[in-house]
C-alpha cells in the first residue's frame, strides 16, 4: 500500500486531484457566501486560509513532483495546513456546541501586517458581522463546521500516509542490458 501512495506522490495526476478538490471546496465556499448569501465568520475565514494552504501544497507538488525537495516541502505544507484546518474546525464546532460569553471567536480576522488578506481580497477573506457560534447551514443534520472537521481529517490522514510512504524505496524494474 505504501508503494502505491509513493507512486501516487510521484505522479502529477494525484497532485492535480488534490488541487482540484481544494478548488471545488473553495468554489463551494464562495457560492455559499456570494450565491446563497451566507456570511462567513472569522473561523470560516481562517478555515478557508487553511484550505488555500492545502491548495498551495497541491500546486507545489504538481509542479515539483519529481524533485524530492519540492515534493517533501509540498507534503509538509499539506500536512501542516490540514492539521491547522482540523484544529480550527474543531474549535469552530466547540463555539457552536458550547456557546457562552467567554467562548467566542474574535470580532475581526487577525492577519499579519505583511499579509493582510482581508484588505487584498475582501470578497474572499473578509468576515461578516456573524458570531461563530451561529450555525447558518446544515446538510444531513451536520453543520458546516462538522463537515469541515471531516474534510480536514481526510486531508490529514492522506497527508500522513503520503508522508510515511516517502520513506519506502521505489521499486526498480529489473532491466538488464545484456540478456
- Which residue from 88, 59, 48, 57 is spatially nearest to 163, judged by alpha carbons? 57
Catalytic residue among 22, 66, 71, 105, which?
A: 105
Residue appearing with cell numbers 503520503:
162
Catalytic entry in 22, 132, 169, 179: 132
Half-sphere exposure of 63 (CA within 13 A, CB side): 8
**For the domain bounded by 1-107+116-167, which CATH number is listed?**
1.20.1550.10
Is 48 a residue of the active site?
yes
How far is CA 151 from each of CA 6, 60, 100, 173, rounded to the nearest angstrom?
22, 21, 26, 37
Highest mean pLDDT among 55-59, 100-104, 127-131, 135-139: 55-59
Active-site option among 12, 22, 41, 66:
41
Say if CB 104 and CB 132 are below 8 A apart.
yes
**Residue 22 annotated to the active site:** no
Res. 93 pLDDT band, cuts 50 70 90 = confident
Residue 106's nearest CA partner among 85, 91, 119 is 91
pLDDT surpasses 60 at 65: yes
Q: Is it the case that residue 19 has pLDDT exceeding 60?
A: yes
Amino acid at each position: 500500500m505504501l508503494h502505491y501512495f509513493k507512486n501516487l506522490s510521484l505522479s502529477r495526476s494525484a497532485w492535480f486531484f488534490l488541487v482540484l478538490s481544494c478548488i471545488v471546496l473553495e468554489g463551494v465556499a464562495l457560492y455559499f457566501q456570494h450565491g446563497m448569501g451566507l456570511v462567513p465568520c472569522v473561523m470560516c475565514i481562517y478555515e478557508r486560509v487553511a484550505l488555500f494552504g492545502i491548495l498551495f501544497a497541491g500546486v507545489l507538488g504538481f509542479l515539483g513532483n519529481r524533485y524530492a525537495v519540492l515534493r517533501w516541502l509540498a507534503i509538509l505544507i499539506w500536512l501542516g495546513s490540514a492539521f491547522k484546518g482540523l484544529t480550527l474546525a474543531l474549535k469552530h464546532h466547540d463555539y457552536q456546541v458550547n456557546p457562552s460569553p467567554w467562548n467566542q471567536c474574535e470580532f475581526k480576522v487577525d492577519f499579519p501586517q505583511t499579509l493582510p488578506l482581508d484588505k487584498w481580497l475582501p470578497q474572499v477573506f473578509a468576515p461578516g458581522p456573524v458570531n461563530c457560534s451561529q450555525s447558518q447551514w446544515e446538510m444531513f443534520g451536520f453543520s458546516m463546521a462538522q463537515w469541515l472537521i471531516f474534510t480536514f481529517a481526510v486531508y490529514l490522514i492522506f497527508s500522513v500516509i503520503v508522508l510515511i510512504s516517502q520513506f519506502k524505496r521505489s521499486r526498480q524494474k529489473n532491466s538488464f542490458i545484456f540478456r
